[in-house]
Structure 1
Amino acid sequence: MTQDFYCDEVLSGRTSVQKVFETDNVLAYHHTRPFYPVHIVTIPKKHISSLLTLEQSDNELLIELMDVVKKVATQVQSEYGACRVLTNLGKYQDSKHLHFHLFYGEPLHNDD
C-alpha cells in the first residue's frame, strides 16, 4: 500500500466508507478504524499531501474544506456537547494526504 490511503482506497471506492457529508470537492466520513467513539475524517478529493504544501491555487478548495469541517464539527458539538478538530504534520502524519480528524470522547484504545 502507498502512503495515501485516501486516494488509493477511499476516493477510488476500493474501501467503502460511511459518508457524513459530501460536496463535489470534499468528503467527510466515519473513520474506518476509529480511535474515538465519534471519529470523522474530512478530506479534499484533490490530492494535497499536507497543510504545509497548500498552494495559492488551493485557496477556494481550502475554504470549502474548512466549511465542511465547520458543518460537521457543528453537528458533533450539537449532538455531544464538544468536538475536537486535528490535523497532523511531518512524522505525525501517517497518510500523506491533507485530512482533518473530528472527534469526540475518550480514546478507545490505550497505547500504554
Structure 2
Amino acid sequence: MTASGAEPTLFERIAAREIPARIVAETDRVIAFHDIAPKAPVHVIVTPKRGDYRDVVELASADPALLAELVDVANGIAADLADGDFRLIFNTGPGGGQTVFHVHAHVLAGGLEEASLAG
C-alpha cells in the first residue's frame, strides 16, 4: 500500500498479484510486466512495487538507489527480449502523458519508428 495509506495503485495491485499481468522480471522492490496496450513489439512497464512516488522526479529525489535498480531491471529486459537497444520513457504529469500516478518506466524496443505512448 502507498505510504499515505491511500488505496493501492493499479501497479501495487499487480505486484500483489491481485490483478493478473505477464510478469517478465522482479526484484524485492521492482516489478516488470508487459503493457496491456503495447506501442512497440517489446513494451514492458517497470515500476517499484510500492506506490510511494508519484513520478520519476519524486523517485530521483527521494531514493536514487531505487531509480538505479529500476533502470538496471529495464536494461536486463532489453537484453533478454530485444537486441539490447531500447527506449526508456518516464511520462511525468498529465501534460506529459502520465495517466497512472505511480512512478513507472516504459521499456520499448523493436519497430520504434512510430511508437508514441501515454501511461
What is the letter of the counterpart of residue 79 of structure 2? T
Distance between the aligned counterparts of 1:12 and 1:77, measured in 2? 27
SS in 2 for 1:54: helix
Q: Which residue of 2 aligns with 1:90?
A: 93
2:19 alignment partner, one of 5, 12, 15: 15
More displaced 10-residue stretch of structure 1: 36-45 or 54-63: 54-63
Q: Which residue of 1 aligns with 2:55?
A: 50
Gaps of 5+ in 2: 1-6
Distance between the aligned counterparts of 2:91 and 2:60, measured in 1? 18
TM-score by length of 2: 0.72
Q: Which residue of 2 aligns with 1:73?
A: 78
**Percent identical across equivalent pairs?**
30
Q: What is the CA-CA distance between 1:56 and the residue it aligns to? A: 4.8
Aligned length: 105
Distance between the aligned counterparts of 1:82 and 1:66, measured in 2? 13
Greater relative contact order (Cα 8 A, min sep 6): structure 1 or 2? 1
Q: Considering only aligned residues, what root-mean-square deviation do their CA atoms show, in Å?
A: 2.6
Gaps of 5+ in 1: none
What is the letter of the counterpart of residue 26 of structure 1? V
